[in-house]
Structure 1
Amino acid sequence: MSDKGLSVVIPVKGRVAEMRRLLESLRPAVDACTEPVEVIVVDDSGPADAEAHQDTCASLQARYLRGPKHVGAKRNDGVRAAAYDLILFIDSDCLATEHLLQRHVQTLRNAGESVGAVAGPTFVQGVDNAMFRIMSRSKLLNSAFEWPAQARQVGWATTCNLAVRREAFEAVGGFAERPLTVVGGEDVDLGLRLTEAGHAIVCDPEAVVVHDKSSIESLGTVCRRLITYGQSGQWLLDVHARRGRPKLNRVSTLSATAVAGPLLLPAVAAVLLAVDTRERLGDDAPTVRALAESIACAGLDWCFDLGEFIAAWQLGRPDRLFTGFGWTDDPAFVWNREPAKRYGG
């Protein structure tokens, strides 16, 4: 049996400066926690970055482990090395708030035995640039980070801010170690297996993590993340097949149009873009800036559909070109207020 306390597990590759900032932010949180805390960093960086991480861990009282490539496998290694009965997962490009650890410990200790995990919200730190304004309209990028501030209970949660009872985590087999992509989908899969096994995931809106703004600063970063999210959805359909839902995949629709009636392609694309732009505009006045941001957001969100399209072929499942994953459409999600940004429902 594990000792009573909290083990913080952080997977990393590269991100030397970000990791230092995270470990620095954890020091006040460790001091504010009433139970013993250890911090474990699991890394598969190249030699130069690995040496830098080791130096950072030595100076900021964290344990350093070498780990495998996949993020889920890294987290599993961290849990196996952990000393305590509660585990907090946080990502290397995040910052801890002062009372983060105490909130997770307190909420889990006070919860009934049916509660297997606590999710806290993650907020992207403010940055006022065009990309941030555009993607603030997206249902897909970062929306799941904020759900624990809007719900009492969720069916899964992002593992940039999730605390679990080690016993429940081990009972369901931990993270999938070889999903389709190096990172993406393993957190959803874990959450679904926990809830299906009867281990509820409750929310603590006061257990806050801050996410580094670099995740939304560049076009390339945004596109890669959305494609990965789409790919992970198709992989999740392999392991949770009953959650498949009919979906109008934009990329699949345009591909089918290009084959069946290429002259119709511009018109079909314009209609799809107009519908998606209107949705992202919401209640905003249709100013030039609002329209431009909504159009750009709609176009970038199609990267998610592109990821689904690519993965359907990667997995040999072209029959799923018009099938999406049901991300939140189950009773495990109990909302305090219906979120403005909810996808897959």
Structure 2
Amino acid sequence: MASQRGISVVVPVKGRVPLMRAQLASLRTAMEHSPEPAEVVVVDDSEPDDAEAHRVSCRELGARYVPGPRHVGAKRNLGVDQARYDLILFTDSDCRVSPDVLKRHVTTLRDADSTVGGVSGPTFVDHGRTRGGRIMRWSRLINDDLERPGRAAKVTWATTTNLVVRREVFEEVGGFPSESLDIVGGEDCDLGIKITDAGYTIVCDPDAVVLHDHAITESLATAARRLHGYGRSEQWVCSVHPHHRRPVLNAFTVASTAALAGIALAPRSRGAGLLAGPAVLALVVAARARGLRDEERAVGGGGTAERLACAAVDLLFDLGGFQAALQMGRPSGLVTGLRPADDVRPEGGGGRPPGRSWLPVEGTGWSPAGG
């Protein structure tokens, strides 16, 4: 359909009824601050009871409800098809947007020239006070891609927790994949890479902030499942965009090689060689834990034990990538991964610090920082 001037927000969802309602409430506030017409399109494939609850939330909070398919990329494509406006913001059901996020994104894109295909802002995880949250606050794999637009001038791709694109650019590059290795994962990388490869730029606004709910790290099991999915999706993206690969040290590739060598040497080493694989994983955990240093995350205590636990959970990313490479029959995936997405401003180069212009209050509201 012909699009009008304005901004449409597309949110895929399955379940997560309370989180979706909180997101809709935050979006309603953001719409009130938008300088142009705005709408929210919710694309859902929940079970009947949850679907009805989402319909009620959409009616009460001014969003449009659309039944959709299972695959999250296909959901977002359907949301764009149903959208009225020429700017599209992608965010998730387990997030909350800051009040000025639509205003900032609209202003940035309207002021930019046509070579700017999209704008991304940082997403900060509200890790909460659970044991899992305290440990996973150290994780670069969980936090860095979400926070990257707070320190970068532009990115190759950005997470769809906080990404606005021109509709015409989205349609030119073919939108999101409607099929991939898993139902969710990698579609944001794929879209960003296609936009960048088409010659457009995705610029960053460190003050267009989104908050991710603590459910992402509420428990170590939840974080581990998510990291395993991230590892699998990275290998799928590398298979689609092999020119964006780089050499990586996958812990399970190294450990498997060591284990095979240890098995071969076991008779000579009186069985000690059988410990080679676990020993390598332990060394990797120790080495990675030493690298998990962030003064901001260190506030409130923690230390060596938390970082060791975080590095151990982070291994699930490597395991997901290792398994996906074997599943897809791509031996090269055992030693390669996706290139970093960022073009970070050099220190002292005049860039602003990570955006914290709005901070969450009591988990659902927002208040100006320092206010």
TM range (shorter): over 0.9
- Give the Å deviation of 1:229: 0.7
* Structure 2, gaps ≥5 residues long: 264-272, 354-371
- The equivalent of 1:333 in structure 2 is 343
Residues 123 and 298 of structure 1, relative CA distance in 2, 3 Å threshold = same
Alignment deviations for residues 53-86 of structure 1 (CA, whole Å, 9 cap, x no partner): 1111111111110111111110000000111111
CA contact (8 A) 2:86 2:167 kept: yes
- Give the counterpart of 2:328 among 296, 315, 340: 315
* Structure 2 length-normalised TM: 0.86
What letter corresponds to residue 89 of structure 1 in structure 2?
F
Alignment deviations for residues 94-133 of structure 1 (CA, whole Å, 9 cap, x no partner): 1111111111111110111110101011111252333222
Task: Write out aligned runs for 1:239-254 (5 A).
Answer: 239-254=240-255
Task: Write out aligned runs for 1:243-322 (5 A).
Answer: 243-262=244-263, 263=273, 264-281=276-293, 289-322=302-335
Residues 336 and 112 of structure 1, relative CA distance in 2, 3 Å threshold = farther
Task: Write out aligned runs for 1:204-223 (5 A).
Answer: 204-223=205-224
Secondary structure, counterpart of 1:170 in structure 2: helix
- The equivalent of 2:113 in structure 1 is 112
What letter corresponds to residue 335 of structure 1 in structure 2?
R
Alignment deviations for residues 242-296 of structure 1 (CA, whole Å, 9 cap, x no partner): 22222221112212222221422343233222212222257899xx951111111
* Structure 1, gaps ≥5 residues long: 341-345
Residues 38 and 131 of structure 1, relative CA distance in 2, 3 Å threshold = same
What letter corresponds to residue 101 of structure 2 in structure 1?
L
Q: Distance in 1 between matches of 2:215 and 2:29?
A: 24
Superposition RMSD in Å: 2.2
What letter corresponds to residue 296 of structure 1 in structure 2?
A
CA contact (8 A) 2:119 2:203 kept: yes
* Structure 1 length-normalised TM: 0.92
CA contact (8 A) 1:122 1:208 kept: yes
Secondary structure, counterpart of 2:141 in structure 1: coil
Task: Write out aligned runs for 1:1-345 (5 A).
Answer: 1-125=2-126, 127-262=128-263, 263=273, 264-281=276-293, 289-328=302-341, 333-335=343-345, 337=347
Alignment deviations for residues 185-233 of structure 1 (CA, whole Å, 9 cap, x no partner): 1101100110111111011112111111111111111001101110011
- Give the Å deviation of 1:301: 0.9
Q: Distance in 1 between matches of 2:42 and 2:326?
A: 35
CA contact (8 A) 1:133 1:293 kept: yes
CA contact (8 A) 1:150 1:337 kept: no
- Give the Å deviation of 1:182: 1.3
Q: Count residues in correspondence.
A: 336
- Give the Å deviation of 1:46: 0.8
In the TM superposition, structure 1's runs of 4+ consecutive aligned residues that sit over 6 Å from their partners are 282-285
Secondary structure, counterpart of 1:180 in structure 2: coil
Secondary structure, counterpart of 1:179 in structure 2: coil
Secondary structure, counterpart of 1:4 in structure 2: strand
Instruction: Tell me the percent identity.
Output: 52
Residues 294 and 57 of structure 1, relative CA distance in 2, 3 Å threshold = same
- The equivalent of 2:363 in structure 1 is none
Residues 71 and 337 of structure 1, relative CA distance in 2, 3 Å threshold = farther
Once the two structures are overlaid, the 10-residue window that deviates more, 122-131 or 136-145, is 122-131
Q: Distance in 1 between matches of 2:278 and 2:143?
A: 30
CA contact (8 A) 1:150 1:336 kept: no
What letter corresponds to residue 287 of structure 2 in structure 1?
V
Q: Distance in 2 between matches of 1:22 and 1:70?
A: 21
Alignment deviations for residues 20-68 of structure 1 (CA, whole Å, 9 cap, x no partner): 1111111121111121111100001111111111111111111110111
Residues 160 and 266 of structure 1, relative CA distance in 2, 3 Å threshold = closer
